[in-house]
Structure 1
């Protein structure tokens, strides 16, 4: 790989992880969830609604639940699950100990309703993820083309 390409990959990776973090848990063996977020993106919206996708990984010894999401970009952000092709709003989604919660196109996802403005490709949308047991995590979600399909992570 040439150096400019390697630099671009490193910068892109850093942008995706900007604002990603975990709970204050001290690590394995302490009986707590230890959360991190990656692979976040939002396809550029074409209406006053948008979807958000990401992966929450729990390296801790206790399960947790994603209970809500907030963002200044939308009047409301809801958590949806998809069962047999039908989406429905849910109160929470489980994040198993030593496991992941994957929010992906065609599956569980975030719904941004009543967008205050339509974010454009290249911009970021800041969200705060709220959990049952862990501290909130702020994530900067990059806006991708409306037709974006991730190559990895989902």
Structure 2
């Protein structure tokens, strides 16, 4: 018996598999999100605090921050600041290969209806929810009321 039919069948199967592999679409680009530089200045008010952080997207697709929640507050809102005017926002875009920055004097988070007043040295846990990516849990350290990340004071 000749081995030729078996060799031809194997070659045909391999060629078919390679053809199918060549027709498959590449995996769609997706966001790759991470959080850095998070902090909350110790609140001066018993019922409200600000929060700051940077969300970096190293992925090839944009995403959108759609909500923030924390057990430390009854409500967490997101605000933009343009020309000194603060406005509550329902979401913030995070561009592909870009960043979303929440900083003092700019975009920021507001922790409203605080359940307790966080003190310097404690941490506040929050959950970031996105339009496309899974949620991220962040442990935000509470710093002094006058803390500024560029100086560390």
Q: Paired residue for 1:125?
A: 124
* Selected match of 1:33 from 14, 31, 34: 31
What is the Cα deviation at residue 151 of structure 1?
Answer: 1.4
- Distance in 2 (CA, whole Å) between partners of 1:111 and 1:138 is 17
Q: Paired residue for 1:99?
A: 98
What is the Cα deviation at residue 46 of structure 1?
Answer: 1.1
What whole-Å deviation, never above 9, does each CA across 1:67-96 have from its counterpart, x for those lacking one? 100000000001111111111110101110
- Segments of structure 1 that go 5 or more residues without pairing to the other structure are 1-28
What RMSD, in angstroms, separates the aligned Cα atoms of the two structures? 1.1
- Segments of structure 2 that go 5 or more residues without pairing to the other structure are 1-26
**How many residues are treated as equivalent by the alignment?**
124
Q: Paired residue for 1:140?
A: 139
- Distance in 2 (CA, whole Å) between partners of 1:30 and 1:99 is 18
* Selected match of 2:43 from 39, 42, 45: 45
Q: TM-score scaled to structure 2, two decimals?
A: 0.79
Q: Which has more radius of gyration? A: 2
Counterparts of 1:61-100 in structure 2, within 5 Å, are 61-100=60-99
- Distance in 1 (CA, whole Å) between partners of 2:48 and 2:28 is 40
- Distance in 2 (CA, whole Å) between partners of 1:146 and 1:64 is 32
Q: TM-score scaled to structure 1, two decimals?
A: 0.79
- Distance in 1 (CA, whole Å) between partners of 2:115 and 2:85 is 26
